[in-house]
Amino acid sequence: MLEIKDLHARCDATEILRGINLQVRAGEVHAIMGPNGSGKSTLAHVLAGREDYEVTQGEVLFNGTSLLDMEVEQRAAEGIFMAYQYPVEIPGVSNKYFLKAAMNSIRKHHKQPLIDTMDFLKVLKEKMQLLGMDKSMMERSVNEGFSGGEKKRNEILQMAMLQPKLAVLDETDSGLDIDALRIVADGVNTLRSPERAIIVVTHYQRLLDYIVPDYVHVLAEGRIVRSGDKTLALELEEKGYGFLEALSPSAAAAAV
Amino acid sequence: MIVTETNTYHDEHAKFCEGQSATAPIWLQELRERGLSQFHELGLPTTRDEEWRFTNIAPITTHPFAIADVGAFSESQIDQLVQQAELDEDFHQLVFVNGRFAKQWSRLHDLPANVIVESLAESIDHRPDTVEDRLLGNGDVELSAFVSLNTAFVDDGAYVSVPEGVSVDRPIHLIFLTVADTPSFCHPRNIVSLGKNSRATVIESYLGCEGARYFTNTVTKIEVGESAELSHHKLQHEQANALHVATTSVHQQTKSRFRSHYFSFGGDLTRNKLNCTLDGEGIECTLNGLYMPTGDQLMDCRTEIHHAKPNCNSFELYKGILDDRAKGVFNGKIHVYPDAQKTDAKQSNQTILLSDDAIIDTKPQLEIYADDVRCTHGATVGELDEQAIYYLRSRGIPADLARTMLIFAFANDVVQGVKLPAVRQHLESILLSERGLPNV
Ligand SMILES: Nc1ncnc2c1ncn2[C@@H]1O[C@H](COP(=O)(O)OP(=O)(O)OP(=O)(O)O)[C@@H](O)[C@H]1O
Ligand SMILES: [Mg+2]
């Protein structure tokens, strides 16, 4: 489904991604871990199409077509969804209007009929209940004044409504209390299916207890320095990133 | 140039006096003469006048305008315009065509006893003494060339008078249409007077037929009596080539409440001056405004709040959305008099520039002569939030629609400040249709 080949990206003069290779097949769940500042969010944004980052090398294929040539909204319409580490507040735009506009924009893109308001509200109510969200959140402005945890739930709600093919969850667990973590993880798990793939960016094993990954990758200084199965996450939790030091690009370079 | 133009006004005035004015009562003829001579004394302002520094009125001074005449326009065209302006059939509605009351498009529902809603021309006939008093009103405002010019041509407009203790539940909608096929002007003059403990809602709408360039120079005088409450709306939808100058002066008495909602969409050059005097204690004054010039439009919004007495509150929020080569001017003066202690005045002007060529000149002007007061003001000028656009796009919303949504969101709190559903819906639909936002 997703093929990332030797991806390099920079912001202004700084190179942040320095040759990422990653393959994600439909049905899989991949976890990406790694120290602060290693480029995890950057990778997520590059996949989503943020224009602040310049791809200088490499390619990304999504179901066989080049992702990098597509506009941000086109990628979303084709089924890429990123749950933000820091969701954006949009004063004055109600959550409900926003969600419906998003769903209908995607439908329009696929030349499908627009969603019926009653159907929309019904699905919305269902998903919100699933995520333990209060109805009042719908009338409020997108993320405005939401607590950290509420923002994260709101991201997952959007994902649940838009039903993407590839979801990239960037530290969705941060800011969630213990109960919320389980609720949100359940929400994500209901989306797991053979047609979908999920990339979970996290610092903690705890989330991976609920959303069990097929693969775990460690990103350091803009490269994937180690990949393994779910036991890699446990190992990291126990030993920290220190034990990977020998494998990190700069350590390797220093050793030369 | 100014001399020649004031001369055309002079000639037009002479014609006007021969016609309408000949049969008018002496006091009115004198008032008009005084208006004209004051107009000549003051002269039309230029950009050398501090108050007009950013607003060049050359289109007004270089164009000879004549008293508006319906000309070749048909009734059905006027009919269409009225329909366009109409907000709710439950509202009282007075329609003025080229400044003159047009009975056939007006309607009054049952009014509470002793409430007067009629045309100024009728009032001049029916109750000359009160009208004379109210026309003379407070002197300060008269010191403007445009008000003087209006006085020189004073003839018709709306007259609304609500006696003590009476509440007029249905909003009173005043519709001013200009329909002319040669360059024309008109000078509507409105009087709104609320007695002690009374309540009313007034809406002024300004529209025009596509046709010749025209100049609307309107004056509205508002008196809000003790503990009275007036909610005032103005919807400025003039034609694209129109010049619109408006002066609204409000005099508020003890414990009264005045709310103004100003929406400016049309016109080529628009200058809206709103002048409030808080002349008693415990008064509330709220001024909300939204101006959205595009193309080469210029919109000048000027407000003055005079805190003359202690313990009054004023809140002001004006928002501008400027596109293309449009120009916006905001000047908000807050004047706190020496004994107006415990004044609480908040003012905010927020602007979004959608294009690199749009210009805003924003100037808060605080003159505070009392020491125990709370006055805050702030002006922000920005662009649409790129992060928010990206966020919306990353959910599949096309860039254009994302921008539109943010524009609507920015304008929305001013729109939501309008409590009348019919007016709010009207505004929403304008914002939605003009900006192409799907109604979901
Ligand atoms: N827009 C930007 N401008 C400048 N530097 C940036 C920008 N975005 C990212 N960076 C830099 O790139 C590096 C990688 O940032 P990124 O947010 O991708 O890290 P991360 O792995 O997600 O970290 P964390 O675990 O703290 O979320 C950091 O050093 C960051 O400061
Ligand atoms: Mg990050």
Kindly state whether residue B260 falls inside one of the protein's structural domains.
yes
Chain A interface, best mutation among B384, B390, B394, by max A CB count within 10 A: B394
Which string of DSSP letters, residue by residue, matches B274-312?
EEEEE-SSS-EEEEEEEE---TT-EEEEEEEEEE-SSS-
Q: Does A98 touch chain B (CB under 8 A)?
A: yes
Could you tell me the residue range of the domain that residue B91 belongs to?
2-279
Percent of chain B with pLDDT over 70: 95
Residues of B in contact with A100 (CB under 8 A): 440
Q: In terms of CA atoms, which chain B residue is nearest residue A44?
A: B394
Q: A256 falls in which pLDDT band (50, 70, 90)?
A: very low
- pLDDT one-digit tens code per residue, B170-227: 999 999 999 988 899 999 999 999 999 999 999 999 999 988 899 999 999 999 999 9
Whether residue B15 is found in the same domain as residue B129: yes
Q: Does B315 touch chain A (CB under 8 A)?
A: no
pTM of the model: 0.85
Yes or no: say if A71 and A58 are a contact pair by the CB < 8 Å rule: no
What is the number of other CB atoms lying within 10 angstroms of the CB of residue B412? 20
What is the number of other CB atoms lying within 10 angstroms of the CB of residue A155? 22
Please give the average per-residue pLDDT across A134-162, as a whole number.
Answer: 93
- pLDDT one-digit tens code per residue, B329-388: 999 999 999 999 999 999 999 999 999 999 999 999 999 999 999 999 999 999 999 999
How far apart CA B1 and CA B12 sit, in angstroms, is 17
Number of domains in chain B: 2
Tally helices (H) and strands (E) across chain A: 9, 12
pLDDT reported for residue A250: 54
pLDDT reported for residue B24: 85
Among B279, B312, B347, the domain-final residue is: B279
Kindly state whether residue B293 falls inside one of the protein's structural domains.
no
pLDDT reported for residue B10: 79
Whether residue B265 is found in the same domain as residue B402: no
Q: How far is A241 from chain B (nearest CA, A)?
A: 32
Q: B12 falls in which pLDDT band (50, 70, 90)?
A: confident
pLDDT reported for residue B50: 86
Whether residue B246 is found in the same domain as residue B390: no
Record: contact A158-B395, CB cut-off 8 A? yes
DSSP code of residue B144 = S
Does the structure show a pLDDT above 60 at B2?
Answer: no
**Domains contained in chain A, CATH given:** 2-255 (3.40.50.300)
Cα torsion A176, A145, A141, A169: sign = negative
Q: B289 falls in which pLDDT band (50, 70, 90)?
A: very high
- pLDDT one-digit tens code per residue, B248-267: 999 999 999 999 999 999 99
Among B279, B305, B320, the domain-final residue is: B279
Kindly state whether residue B343 falls inside one of the protein's structural domains.
no
Ramachandran bin of B231, using left for φ above 0, alpha for ψ from -120 to 50, beta for the remaining angles: beta
Does the structure show a pLDDT above 60 at B4?
Answer: no
Highest mean pLDDT, choosing among B14-28, B71-85, B273-287: B273-287
Does the structure show a pLDDT above 80 at B436?
Answer: no
Nearest-CA neighbor of A6 among A15, A16, A14, A18? A18
Q: Does B416 touch chain A (CB under 8 A)?
A: no
How far apart CA A225 and CA A246 sit, in angstroms, is 10
Whether residue B48 is found in the same domain as residue B182: yes
Q: Does B388 touch chain A (CB under 8 A)?
A: yes
Residues of B in contact with A87 (CB under 8 A): 391
Q: Mean pLDDT over all residues of chain A?
A: 90
> Letter for the amino acid at B368?
I
Q: Hey, what are B118's tokens?
A: 């009629």
Pocket lining: A39 vs ligand 1, CB cutoff 6 Å: yes
Kindly state whether residue B376 falls inside one of the protein's structural domains.
no
Q: Does A230 touch chain B (CB under 8 A)?
A: no
Among B232, B248, B279, the domain-final residue is: B279
A39 CA → ligand 1 middle, Å: 6
Please give the average per-residue pLDDT across A17-21, as a whole number.
Answer: 94
A141 CA → ligand 2 middle, Å: 24
Q: What are phi and psi of A32, to 5 degrees?
A: -120, 125
Chain B interface, best mutation among A78, A93, A104, A108, by max B CB count within 10 A: A93
ipTM comes to 0.94
- Spatial neighbors of B431 by CB under 8 A, at least 6 apart, are B407, B408, B411, B415, B437
Whether residue B130 is found in the same domain as residue B258: yes
Q: What distances in angstroms separate CA B344 from CA A239, B262, B330, B341, B378, one per listed residue? A: 60, 22, 21, 9, 15
pLDDT reported for residue A253: 46
Nearest CB to B409 within list A73, A81, A90:
A90
- pLDDT one-digit tens code per residue, A81-134: 999 999 999 998 999 999 999 999 999 999 999 999 999 999 999 999 989 899
Q: What distances in angstroms separate CA A28 from CA A67, A198, B30, B310, B418, one per listed residue? A: 19, 7, 89, 70, 52
Residue identifier of the C-alpha nearest atom 17 of ligand 1: A41
- pLDDT one-digit tens code per residue, B406-433: 998 999 889 989 999 999 989 988 887 6
Q: A13 falls in which pLDDT band (50, 70, 90)?
A: confident
pLDDT reported for residue A21: 95
DSSP code of residue A114 = P
- pLDDT one-digit tens code per residue, A175-196: 888 888 998 899 899 989 999 9
pLDDT reported for residue B239: 95
How far apart CA A136 and CA A161 sit, in angstroms, is 17
Residues of B in contact with A141 (CB under 8 A): 409
- pLDDT one-digit tens code per residue, B112-148: 999 999 999 999 999 998 998 888 765 545 589 999 9
Q: Does A88 touch chain B (CB under 8 A)?
A: yes
Chain A interface, best mutation among B352, B393, B407, by max A CB count within 10 A: B393
Q: Mean pLDDT over all residues of chain B?
A: 91
Kindly state whether residue B308 falls inside one of the protein's structural domains.
no
**Strand, helix or coil at A84?**
coil
Q: What are phi and psi of B409, to 5 degrees?
A: -60, -40
Whether residue B253 is found in the same domain as residue B398: no
Whether residue B272 is found in the same domain as residue B394: no
A222 CA → ligand 1 middle, Å: 10
